[in-house]
Structure 1
Amino acid sequence: SLSPFHSVSLIISLPLPLFRFQSARTISNVTQRLSHEIFSLDSQTEFLRNKIPPGIGLLDINPPKRKTQILMAPNYTLYYFNGRGRAEICRLLFAAANVKYQDKRLEFFEWDLYRNEMPGMCLPVLEMDGANRMPETMSIARYLAREFGYHGRNSFDMFKCDYISDCFYEIM
């Protein structure tokens, strides 16, 4: 069967008469046509699934669902200046998820010692396991939200999360 995403994308891509419905009967006819198209597409998908030899990899009709298995939680270190500011949204995500991290707060006079080590020569920076360093506030926030399960279950939920985090960023 089709996933909700495929059903919605199919409905959006079907040519409709510019949404000028003159009666409930017309809406009912369009709904029946869309249902028929979705059912038809589902049977075509099943037909294709049976015809494609395994291992081709050119067409992935049903991609595997992402299953993340955390063997060992990474050691996070968040670098920012000593005070609130752009890193606060990241600190709030760590607190909400109850995830331990090292909050490395730099004084302004220390910044010259760290500047060349930081990607983009800016703060905040999130370091994982002492190796991977990620700059940019909102990129870090979105990464942490995905890692901690706060980024939404579908595209619209993800949009709402992005919207709220962008509003938060703008008031900073």
Structure 2
Amino acid sequence: MSTLKPEVSSSDHIEGSDAASITIVEFGDYQCPHCAHAYPIIKEIEQAFGDQIRFVFRHFPLQESHEFAFPAALAAEAAAMQGKFWEMHDALFENQYRLSDDLFEELAETIGLDVEQFQKAILEDAVKQKVEDDFESGVRSGVNGTPSFYVNETKFDGGPDELFEMLKESAE
């Protein structure tokens, strides 16, 4: 069985309570249609389980097949520099159908970022490094496609619908 490497830490983007009994890590790609399908289901899981769930997103841009995956991940990380990772994360998935180089700036403005700061941040080595570290973590954890989910550090074989079902069953 594949396990998550490295484990969740303060360098991750985390939504939810540290006291949650279930940690879900998603390795995702902002241009991947399957990740876009998973996005509202993850939101639903978070609503259904509230404080029981801690959700972590790690970047796994599939650059060969998705030309905007890496720049989108950089945009999310640049937004994180201004404390708005999740806002950008949501905006990227909600606007996936129109991903382009021009979109990132527009979304930065929409979510209330300082656009000039955002443009500088997107070019910073630290931002690129974070995306590469996430990707490397996915490779080490045995990710073979997106989205890939890890539940309490163990790879979950199945998509977001199966994940939701499994969580519902274990909650009963």
- The alignment's TM-score, normalised by the length of structure 1, stands at 0.23
The structure showing larger relative contact order (alpha-carbon pairs under 8 Å, at least 6 residues apart) is 2
Report the TM-score, using the length of structure 2 for normalisation. Answer: 0.23
